[in-house]
Amino acid sequence: MTIPKDFLILSIGILMLIGPAVAIELSIPAPETTNSGGTTNNNPPESTPPHEETLVSKDGYTNEGQTTELKQNYTASKVLNLTATLTWTDDYGSNDVFSLEVQLDGKSIGQEQSNTGQLKVTAAANADEDLRGNYTVLITCVKAPGIIGPIPIDRDNGNSWSLKFSAEVQ
């Protein structure tokens, strides 16, 4: 039996095309598996490694005494934890006080308040929990003090901010 020459050339050509792809595939390191407390890792081998998804990235302004509500949902895959970070630089007088709250399906899962210019709210799922669902992020400008002194000058009506809300999903 003779193999046609054209077939041989075609086969070599295909191998040359596939070769580099196979090499790249082989060079990808195996995903890290984390075991807590020496227990067996029960994750099925086909599960995707955890990765971060940005749910909301937004700049805004909230008036003193007001709350800005941001809604977002995520249902594509399992949510392991959530992180909301609010940052602001006060525009006038004493530092403004902000409050940041994250709700899942209408229930609060974390709230923090500060005048430092940064707030972080995190929530982590327990072993059998899944934090996917409908989220509401509440940004409240609790107090926007102006210049405090013998004669207070209050020309501060609120403040601008930046919010990043992300999820670690699997």
Q: How many CB atoms lie within 10 A of CB 144?
A: 24
Pick the closer one to Ca ion by CB: 51 or 155. 155
List contacts with Ca ion (CB under 5 A): 90-93, 96, 144, 156, 159
Q: Which is nearer to Ca ion, 29 or 150 (CB)?
A: 150
Pairing of strands 158-169, 79-87: antiparallel
> Smallest distance, Å, CB 151 to Ca ion?
16
- Hey, which residues does 87 pair with through a beta bridge? 118, 162
In the complex, minimum distance from the CB of residue 61 to Ca ion, in angstroms, rounded to a whole number: 9
- Which pair of tokens denotes residue 169? 């999903």
CB-based closest residue to Ca ion: 159
CB of 164 to Ca ion, least distance (A): 20
Measured from the CB of residue 65, what is the shortest distance to Ca ion in angstroms?
A: 12
Non-local (6+) Cβ contacts of 18 within 8 A are none
CB neighbour list of residue 55: distance below 8 Å, 6 or more residues apart: 72, 74, 135, 165, 166, 167
Kindly tell me which of 83 and 159 has the beta carbon lying closer to Ca ion.
159
